[in-house]
């Protein structure tokens, strides 16, 4: 990935770019949502209280997003669930997804989480190739990144 990108928290003016990516993510998994669901998600992200988000911007355009949240765990102080990760087709294979994962992991560690985990579809081979490099597969279709 070029050094000319920025990973940051979404801002109010990012709505159109974020929604384009969010709809791309849902389309990838063949999931349809009502417009109201996108609005609710956007408002949660802007509030940043329970659901958190990051966007990856390059050349003034959003090319990636991630949504994550922290929660308690029976066996550790806190964990971070990376719920959504999506990179625009033209930016794939250039380090964007890994940069977003790394950024979430850094925020999780700062929050006191002991790991970041996420799920993916077993047939998403391209994503799984990345996940095998940056996290540990534990037999479930869940990935843990020990912090």
Residue 131 maps to which CATH number?
Answer: 3.40.630.30
Q: Is-contact 45 15, C-beta < 8 A? A: no
> What is the pLDDT averaged over residues 93-98?
91
**Number of domains present in the structure of the chain:** 1
The pTM is what?
Answer: 0.88
Interatomic CA distance for residues 146 and 81, integer angstroms: 12
User: Does 37 score more than 90 pLDDT?
Assistant: yes
Distances (CA, A) of 79 to 30, 44, 98, 113: 28, 19, 19, 5
Could you tell me the residue range of the domain that residue 118 belongs to?
Answer: 5-146
pLDDT score recorded for residue 123: 87
R_g of the chain, CA atoms, integer Å: 15
pLDDT band at 140 (very low <50, low <70, confident <90, very high): low
pLDDT band at 138 (very low <50, low <70, confident <90, very high): confident
The fraction of the chain above a pLDDT of 90, given in percent, is 69
pLDDT band at 4 (very low <50, low <70, confident <90, very high): confident
């Amino acid at each position: 990935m070029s050094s000319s990108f920025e990973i940051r928290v979404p801002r109010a003016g990012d709505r159109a770019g974020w929604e384009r990516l969010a709809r791309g993510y849902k389309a990838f998994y063949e999931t349809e949502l009502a417009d109201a669901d996108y609005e609710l998600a956007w408002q949660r992200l802007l509030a940043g209280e329970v659901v958190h988000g990051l966007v990856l911007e390059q050349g003034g355009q959003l090319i990636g997003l991630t949504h994550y949240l922290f929660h308690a765990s029976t066996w550790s102080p806190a964990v971070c669930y990376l719920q959504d990760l999506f990179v625009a087709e033209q930016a794939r294979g250039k380090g964007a997804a890994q940069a977003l994962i790394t950024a979430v992991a850094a925020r999780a560690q700062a929050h006191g989480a002991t790991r970041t985990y996420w799920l993916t579809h077993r047939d998403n081979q391209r994503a799984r190739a990345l996940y095998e490099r940056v996290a540990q597969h534990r037999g479930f279709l869940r990935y843990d990144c020990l912090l």
